[in-house]
Amino acid sequence: CMVHGRPKSPVFDCNPNAAASDRASFARFSSRSATSSGFNHYSLAPDDALLRSLSRSYADPNGPMAVSNSDPSWDRGICNGADWYVVRGGMQDWNYVWRGDPEVTLEIGTIKWPAGSTLPQFWEENRESMLAFFERAQDGVRGLVRDINTGLPLKAGVRITGVTSNGATTWSDPDVGDFHKLLLPGRYDLEVSATGYATAYLRDVVVPDGPAVRWDVWLQPLSTNLQPTGYQVRDAGDAE
């Protein structure tokens, strides 16, 4: 079961797809993982701490998952996917790098098509894990991004500033302007930017251990004074 934020969505939502392997909860981030020798290697994502925390939310309530694999890359049911085996060009990396969606892969069994009689056991083993994982969708900071003059919603990028690894950029929905950025509890400086607007800086945003804190952002359009500095008239048949 692969759970990830839906591409282009400003809100973290869980969208499962079927998969089968060892029981695990892990963050892939493997597109840059292979060393020059080709061996697997822990690939540290900018949001590594968040991805590990999300993975722990699923694995910790799941007894069978915690003891399912003795590979050195595993830690009580979770691992960095690239440290386990390398995948190039995977959807998880693409969504994380280009869309800002945190990606966690869940593998809850070794049989691709398990018998129907085993489904109740899978449900019992994974019920609390799923509930704990879904609750994490409420973490972090959320809000609306709008034009300060018109009140219209804007597509804007929201990212952490002031730290070495500032994580992936979260995008607001251009239709309604809402965004939701998953963050661990703590204090953050955030930068909100949109094309044609002055960047807004949110200082000392306190993210609680609980439901997301709300920060609405109103962006000021950049002033423009476009004047021609020169021009040249050419016939369509002129050659360079």
Which of 50, 110, 38, 51 has the alpha carbon at shortest distance from 80?
51
Please confirm, yes or no, whether 125 is among the known catalytic residues.
Answer: no
Neighbours of 154 (CB within 10 A): 23
The single-letter code of the amino acid at 85 is: Y
* DSSP-based three-state secondary structure for 173: coil
CA distances, 215 to each of 37, 50, 185, 196 (Å): 46, 20, 15, 21
What Cα–Cα distance (Å) separates residue 105 from each residue in 78, 83, 98, 116, 158?
A: 10, 14, 18, 23, 24
3-state DSSP helix/strand/coil % of the chain, to nearest 5: 20, 25, 55
Identify the three-state secondary structure at position 58.
helix
Tell me if residue 130 falls in helix, strand or coil: helix
Q: Which of 107, 124, 135, 240 is catalytic?
A: 107
Distance CA 180, CA 173 (A): 10
Q: How far is CA 238 from CA 10, 77, 130, in A?
A: 49, 68, 67
CB atoms inside a 10 Å sphere around CB 130: 20
Q: Active-site residues: which are they?
A: 107
